[in-house]
Structure 1
Amino acid sequence: MGAEKTATKKLDTTIKEKPAFVEELWKDRKEQWNGPRIFVLIISLLAIGLSIFHIYTAGFGTLSSWQQRSVHVLWAILLIFLLFPFKKGKKFGLIDILVVLLTLVTAFYMITGAEAIQSRQGNINNSDVIFGTIFIALVLEATRRTNGILMSAIGVFFLAYIFLGRYFPGALAHPGVRYEKMVDHMFNGTLGIFSAPIYVSSTVLILFVIFGSFLMKSGGGQFFTNFAFGLFGNKTGGPALSAVGSSALVATITGNGAANAAITGSFTIPLMKKLGYSKRFSAAVEAVASQGGQIMPPIMGASVFIMAETVGIPYIKLALYALIPAIIYFFIAGMVVYFHAKRLEMAGIPKEQLPDLKQIILKQSYLFLPILLIIGLMIYGYSPMKSGFYAILATVILSWIRKATRMNLLDILAALENGARSALIVIAACATAGIIVGAVSLTGLGITFSRFVIDVAGGQMLLLLLLVAVASIIMGMGMPTVSAYVILSVLGAPALIDLGVNIVAAHMFVFYFGVLSGLTPPVAITAYTTAGIAGANPTKTAFYAIKIGLGGFFIPFLFVYNPELLLQGGDTARISIALLSAFLSCMFFAGALENYFLGKLGIVKRLLMFASAILLVTPGIWGDLIGLATAIFLIIWQKKFTAFVAEDSQKMSG
């Protein structure tokens, strides 16, 4: 009777989100605060106010550039200093009070004197120097508290480079810059802290983070997860395939690999373990899917909005260009999971335990409409800001269709608060990224670094790509994808463009490796998060995640040499051939990785399969033809071998 109940019990894929408002927020913060609840309520109201400010300006018009960006950063760092103590894990203390007061004084100076500060650009006074210095220090401290010491230290390094350029070797040397000029560049205008990263952060990025919070609160995350399990759950490798699908969909909303792993991994990993997958495999699959969600349009971890501003291509076009490589990434991950399950003869989840796909589509598919609305509005010509504004309104209205998803006033307030709080880490990182961008433009480092890297690579494209890939992984370790991309876009991408790489391919190349740094030791944040949930060894999980997601490390090389995969540089026929070759290559690559394709492979077949996969994506018709011929030969050989083994086994059993 007990077994029968277990067999028919429906899989619970509900993503439960605890609202951080009033009582629940107090429960979360009572260990941090010694003071009365009123302080917790003030923090909550400040977060809600930040979201309302950005929703209002998106719908009804922003302030002037410098004012919009300065209010955005000041509001965010005030919240950071209230939420993140000076010492991690400690309670709010005297240092925190002093920093909050200093932030308030600086905010008063900047907001009341905004027009005068801007008018003095190029001719700053002593007050600007003092408050500019304080503001830079506050940004770096806010970044340290939210993103860790590494990102803050990189900001300090670039500030030091401004003054100590004469001590750097060769092409990296420069005469140095006066202190007042540095403050003027970073603080008084829109070329430093308030440059492109904060422009995007203060207009589009935070709005889409808030939108993601509303979508999750309305049940969108649950819909994506139920849909993935209903679609893939009963297939071979179903639990792992479902984890790949649900994590990919949810990660496009959250924009953060580690956060997404914590949300969806809390039930996908235990489920995979329960059905026989190892701890390490379960954690690695979730890590690969969660991290890869940031490369999947339409939202792409919000980095695509900064990329659009940087390369001067509309967001909707960039999202379209990024679609095929993202599909290839998840296709490889899915095939690795499938072949792994086939090799180990692992079945899917019984249908009676899965959500009913037809009912999910009938009852919950309306939750996907806000994303379609964003895409449709931008295709029609609306700005990302205005599209995000209408999408947030649509999410609330659509949630009222069914009682189960209906958002009441407290749900809306909780979504506003969670959206602002989720954006704080990225805002701080973008502000420090602005310091880096300012240092690069002030010293001319972008041009000299490009020449330096090209010289080291000896002008060889493949070597340059490898150098930039390694640098991108190192720079991306422990950083939010947005901040990693900003740094790499001003240092790595120009070197690739100088050597003839397509501008979209160059920026996508560094973006991909910035994302994949979340899987690579020693700072594989997403892999370590899933390992903690699974109870697996973190380092072994990270290396296994690299194996499962290895195709992702090759995809950037593929679209550099085959820009047709980014829908660049070719007619329909060439793009179609490139797509077919890429998907065949991915299938053979996954089979070689898992040592399975129509049956288990031997060492010779495995090597031939790797060779076929590489040849199929080598530029030129001959590579495709030889790779395809090798693949056909392998398929025939493997089919005959598998049939022979099956026949032999039947005779033995007979």
Structure 2
Amino acid sequence: MSANTTYIEKVTQKESNLKGLPKVLAIIIALTAITFSVFHLYTAGFGSLPSWQQRAVHVSFGLLLLFMLFPFSKKKGFKFYDLIPILLSSLVLAYALFDYPAIEYRAGQPNSMDIMIGTLLIILIIEGVRRTNGILMSILITFFLFYIFLGPYFPGLLGHQGYSYKKMIDTLFISTSGIFSSPVYTSSTVIVLFIIFGSFFLKSGAGKFFIDFAFLLVGKRRGGPALASVASSAMLGTITGNGAANVAITGAFTIPMMKRIGYSPKFAAGVESVASQGGQLMPPIMGAAIFIMAEMTGVPYIELIAYALIPALLYFLVAGIIVYLQAGKLGLKGASDEEIPKVTEVLKRLYFFLPIAFIIGLMLMGFSPIKAGLYSIFLTIGLSYLKRENWMSWRDVLACLESAAKSSMIVVSACAGAGIIVGSVVLTGLGTRFSRLAIDISGENLLLLLILVMVASIILGMGMSTVSAYVILAVLAAPALINLGVSPVAAHMFVFYYGVMSGLTPPVAITAYTAAGLAGSSPNATAFTATKIGLGGFIVPFIFVYNEALLLQGDTSTIALSVITSIIGAAAFVFFLQGYLIRETSWGERLLFLAAAITLIIPGILTDITGVALLIAGILLQIFKKKSDELVAEQVQKKLMG
């Protein structure tokens, strides 16, 4: 695109996926998106609207933009009937702006207009969710709506007395227990702000820096491009908070390099998928769900990211070791000198770490995440002027505001849809009933309950965003875990992890499919490979549930010992999984490594000593066989030469 291309021309080209979209509407979409971002920046800086109104404006304004961006049919593109939900969303927005605070005064006794607007909003949310998050979540929301009325027809613990339509509208629309509950509150204040921050951060040149920094650190090592993919995606993914988006940013560079040094297309795509999806697990930002978790658990955000650090490092450690061992198995080398960026060029751009450090520093000083995010946006814009090619013009600023608003739509609709589910659970008391039912099915066996929740989390996450899956399971499954003695933080982290991991598991694995497209590999083969590489993400939640020292619960010595044994145990698990350490492993050696991993993961001095002994035995066997192989090769060579 030429330097003379106007901002409006860029906008029009960006909207080319909406077939039949008039140019004038493309301009209106751009202005609407920018206004959406400016509204949230303004309320972050000068104070939000009253709580209910802030949330209602956020959702209705988001729906207005959503229906501009996502037509009824992707194949047919934008048609005249797509104006209908746009106009209806405008009506809801006007109602939230101009009939407040009278709406709140009618809590418990909604009038006919409240019922009409509330009904309209629910329909718009379900349709918006269908367009952005898929049909599965919209069906799930509809089911929970009907459950409010059909409770008397459900058997046993799932049954309830049933509620009137008026009561449903009062709960879902007028109160802050339904649509405008915790997910939308967090979305309207914190999440959108950090999405805006991420947009400016990437525009400032941070994406390229993180890739260069990762290649400088590990690029020349065995399997270097794959290791760099893991490292750069861990750093960048915490900013984007979206696995598929992260693949698009880093994968376009790392996947071709992995293929060039000898990794198969499906393995290269699998590595990028695991690393990119795992970015949501890596502090400090971790995507949208962590902010909602802070609101739902009452645990400050700054504490949650501290608790999440060690499990995230274990996740990426497992992925990194798998990549390294696979390179050894295939005899691969690292990147060439020409492909490694110059040290001086990378060191000059270390200032890109400042915005992240600034966010953490401000929150440690007592600033709210809202203020920390807001001030970091301005810092990021200022830092862009340190390198001429990254300078942000006013057009770039507008483009970032527009891009951020568009990126927010999936989160806004997901949070609003999840709010309907939360409201129906609160109104019907389903949370308590479901918790009791899950405990009964598991026979009060924690391990069995954890497995059931894991499966439910993965299945739910296949058809929806991490935010949606987390919120639903946080109100349904997490209480069951808590009732069996799991701490609230561990319970919520558990369901969050599997909501993230669902992006890798077939038959619906959006992140893996995105990477497969870049690698030219089979989507399902890539998803299965990614699942294998990401197995660390499947076992880590079980580890921290049974050993909460990994979530920084306990004294320093206990935490330190747990971290060390978990790292060694994770490495042993990879040796079992890969069937390779310094040579191909026999099944006997693999079972030794598996036994070592299991015993090291279980807390206790006796199990730790046993695990280390088993691991050492497996390593010594590998060394002995390696030397034996070398001796045999040497003797064969002598015979051939003799």
Moved more, 458-467 or 345-354: 345-354
Query: Corresponding residue for 1:102?
Result: 88
In structure 1, what is the Cα distance between the partners aligned to 2:16 and 2:470? 36
Alignment match, 2:337: 351
**How big is each residue's C-alpha offset from its partner over 1:373-394, in whole Å with a ceiling of 9 and x where there is no partner?**
0000001100000000000000
Letter aligned with residue 627 of structure 1: G
Judge conservation of contact 2:277–2:511 (CA < 8 Å) in 1.
yes
Corresponding residue number in structure 2 for 1:504? 489
CA distance in 2, matches of 1:340, 1:183: 56
Equivalent position of 2:219 in the other structure: 233
Distance apart, 1:650 and its partner CA? 2.4
1:34–1:636 distance in 2 versus 1, CA, 3 Å: closer
Matching of residues 64-79 of structure 1 within 5 Å: 64-79=50-65
Distance 1:32 1:435 in 2: 29
Secondary structure at the aligned position of 1:404 is classed as helix
Asked if residue 152 in structure 1 is aligned to residue 138 in structure 2, the reply is yes
Count, aligned residues: 637
* Residues in 1 aligned to 2:154 and 2:274: alpha-carbon distance in whole angstroms: 39
Match of 1:166 among 148, 152, 169: 152
Report the CA distance shift for 1:45/1:577 in structure 2 as closer, same or farther (over 3 A). Answer: same
| 1:579 Cα deviation after fit | 0.6
Tell whether 2:580 aligns with 1:596.
Answer: yes
- Tell whether 2:544 aligns with 1:541: no
Q: Look up the match of 2:611.
A: 627
Structure 1 residue 334 displacement after superposition: 0.1
8 Å Cα contact 2:288/2:411 also seen in 1: no
TM-superposed CA distance for 1:36, in Å, is 4.1
Q: Which amino acid is the alignment partner of residue 642 of structure 1?
A: K
Residue pairs, 1:410-429, within 5 angstroms: 410-429=395-414
- One-letter identity of the residue aligned with 2:446: M
C-alpha separation between the residues in 1 aligned to 2:291 and 2:6? 28
Candidates 510, 531, 556, aligned match of 1:572: 556
* 1:237 positional shift: 0.9
Of 226, 250, 265, 2:251 maps to 265
Percent identity between the two aligned chains: 54
Q: Secondary structure at the match of 2:341?
A: coil
Deviations 1:451-510, CA, capped at 9 Å, x for gaps: 000000000010010001101111111211111111111011100000000111100000
For residue 21 of structure 1, report the CA deviation from its aligned partner.
4.3
Counterparts of 1:177-192 in structure 2, within 5 Å, are 177-192=163-178
Residue 519 of structure 1 aligns to a residue whose secondary structure is coil
Deviates more, 1:623-632 or 1:26-35: 26-35
Q: Which amino acid aligns with 2:113?
A: S
- Mapped contact 2:233–2:250 kept (Cα < 8 A): yes
> Retained in 2: the 8 A contact 1:478–1:518?
no
The match for 1:609 is 593
Q: Does 1:643 find its partner at 2:627?
A: yes
CA contact 1:316–1:379 (8 Å) conserved in 2 = yes
Measured on the aligned residues, the alpha-carbon RMSD in Å equals 1.6
Q: More deviation in 27-36 or 494-503?
A: 27-36
Residue 465 (structure 2) pairs with residue 494 (structure 1): no
* Aligned equivalent of 1:93, options 79, 84, 99: 79
Q: Secondary structure at the match of 1:373?
A: helix
Among candidates 301, 325, 330, match of residue 315 of structure 1? 301
Structure 1 residue 329, shift from structure 2 partner? 0.1
Q: CA deviation at 1:35?
A: 5.6
- The answer to whether residue 501 in structure 2 is matched with residue 516 in structure 1 is yes
Stretches of structure 1 lacking an aligned partner (at least 5 in a row): 1-15
With over 3 angstroms needed to count, the CA separation of the structure-2 counterparts of 1:648 and 1:33, relative to structure 1, is closer
Q: Distance in 2 between matches of 1:507 and 1:112?
A: 38
Cα offset, 1:33, TM superposition: 5.3
Q: Secondary structure at the match of 2:503?
A: helix
- Measure the CA separation in 2 of the matches of 1:541 and 1:462: 30
Does residue 279 of structure 1 match 2:265? Answer: yes
State whether residues 439 and 480 of structure 2, in contact with CA within 8 Å, keep that contact through their aligned partners in structure 1: yes
Cα distance, 1:106 vs structure 2: 2.3
Is residue 236 of structure 2 the alignment partner of residue 250 of structure 1?
yes
Of 105, 118, 125, the match for 2:104: 118
Q: Is the 8 A contact 1:476 1:517 kept in 2?
A: yes
Please say which of residues 396-405 and 350-359 is displaced more in the overlay. 350-359
Equivalent residue of 2:288, what SS?
helix
Normalized against structure 1, the TM-score is what?
Answer: 0.95
Name the counterpart of 1:198: 184
* Preserved contact between residue 207 and residue 249 of structure 2 (Cα < 8 Å): no
Distance across 2 between alignment mates of 1:32 and 1:617: 51
Give the match for residue 438 of structure 1.
423
- Distance across 1 between alignment mates of 2:18 and 2:52: 34
CA distance in 2 between counterparts of 1:161 and 1:605 reads 53
Q: Is the 1:478–1:525 contact (alpha carbons within 8 Å) kept by the matching residues of 2?
A: no
d(CA) in 2 for partners of 1:34 and 1:504? Answer: 48
The whole-number CA distance in structure 2 between the counterparts of 1:209 and 1:74 is 18
Displacement of 1:269 in angstroms is 1.2
Asked whether the 8 Å contact 1:21–1:44 carries over to 2, the reply is no
Classify the secondary structure of the residue corresponding to 1:145. helix
1:193·1:434 contact (CA, 8 Å) conserved in 2?
yes
Give, in whole Å, the separation in 2 of the partners of 1:21 and 1:383. 34
Tell me the amino acid that sits aligned with residue 525 of structure 1: I
Comparing 135-144 with 352-361, greater Cα deviation is found at 352-361
- 1-structure distance, mates of 2:13, 2:36: 22
The within-5 A match list for 1:29-44 is: 29-30=15-16, 32=18, 34=20, 36-44=22-30
Q: Does 1:393 align with 2:393?
A: no
Q: Residue by residue, what CA displacement relative to the aligned partner does 1:428-466 show, whole Å, maximum 9, x if unpaired?
A: 000000001101100000000000000000000100100
1:80 match: 66
1:91 positional shift: 2.4
How far has the Cα of 1:144 moved from its partner?
A: 0.9
1:453 aligns with 2:438: yes
Which residue is equivalent to 1:215? 201
d(CA) in 2 for partners of 1:208 and 1:48?
15
Q: Secondary structure at the match of 2:473?
A: helix
Q: Does the 8 Å contact 1:197/1:306 carry over to 2?
A: yes
The 1:253–1:628 alpha-carbon spacing in structure 2 relative to 1, beyond 3 Å, is same
**Is 2:120 the partner of 1:134?**
yes
Q: Kindly indicate whether residue 28 of structure 2 is the aligned counterpart of residue 62 of structure 1.
A: no
In structure 2, what is the Cα distance between the partners aligned to 1:408 and 1:20?
Answer: 12
Deviation per residue, 1:323-363 (Å, 9 max, x gap): 000000000000000001011110001123211234302x1
